[in-house]
Structure 1
């Protein structure tokens, strides 16, 4: 199975924010720019006009624009970003260094912020990949999946595609993909 996944456009006022499931808006021009980019890619590569998005507006609104242009838009909460719990939406500089150090010390399984662990995100991404793969097999459909997702989710999907396990330390965590960047993954 092949997955084409774009990271959402940069949200408004997101600089320095611990941004997971906080539902921040995006400038309409940036949303339209990504929708145009996806539409052009689909046309050039003769791909199906079907897009998967998360329910967060920075992903969802791109799907809604594409739906107005004839795409089938599927919303799945499994595409949502890591849940940072009480840290979500706060400035990183306002989160106590000791709390971040504790999280990093037990990176894979720690949830000191009462959110979701990195391992939980990994298994959620893995489950979504399995769901897509099973659906493709049942439908005897070899078409790729197209999606608009979030940096943490995309990082985990890349690790799965590369047959890596749950990152155990913060240094194992890759740099995030750029806003509106396309990642092509095979499973």
Structure 2
């Protein structure tokens, strides 16, 4: 018997995000057609894998919109704040161009333990993503940072990344899967 997997999808591309630092405090909408398309893909994956019709999403619109489509189709939709993106503090929602180079350099110099914009440290996000338990939901719609943190902790649990080691964000609507722990 194969091991059960947690399937995590990154939300669809949010509207109005271009050039902005988008984290936990920036609640941007997504086009409803994009949300519906991703919900269809999740439903198809769940059918193939014979997964329960339960989805957990971040409370932010860009994730919850997908969950609402699935709920319309008879799924249970759970909203879970532990699936939220990194909190960039005062940077959140601001144009990246307005964040000083010195502030970004300070974060990169102590990447795992510095709280960008006074928000949340990457170390906190790593622990939050690693500690998340499915509770019957094998499908989640979350954020790129959460997905990368979960992947990091699955692959390199005792290590903390440097800025140069941190991978690029997954594409909008893409899926990652890991063994449930």
TM-score for the superposition, normalised by structure 1: 0.89
Q: For residues 154 and 48 of structure 2, what CA distance do their matches in structure 1 show?
A: 25
Cα deviation for residue 111 of structure 1 reads 1.4
Query: 3-state DSSP class of the match of 2:139?
Result: strand
Q: For residues 158 and 16 of structure 2, what CA distance do their matches in structure 1 show?
A: 33
Match of 1:139 in 2: none
Give the alignment of 1:1-187 within 5 angstroms. 1-21=4-24, 22-128=26-132, 131-132=133-134, 135=135, 145-186=138-179, 187=181
Greater share of residues in helix = 1
Q: Unpaired runs of 5+ in structure 1? A: 137-143
Tell me the C-alpha RMSD between the 2 structures: 1.5
- Alignment check: 8 A CA contact 1:106 1:168 kept: no
1:139-176: CA deviation from partner (whole Å, max 9, x where unpaired): xxxxx711001000000111122133453411121111
- Alignment check: 8 A CA contact 2:54 2:75 kept: yes
Q: For residues 112 and 126 of structure 1, what CA distance do their matches in structure 2 show?
A: 20
TM-score for the superposition, normalised by structure 2: 0.91
1:63-114: CA deviation from partner (whole Å, max 9, x where unpaired): 0110010101111100000000000011111111111001111111111411
Q: Unpaired runs of 5+ in structure 2? A: none
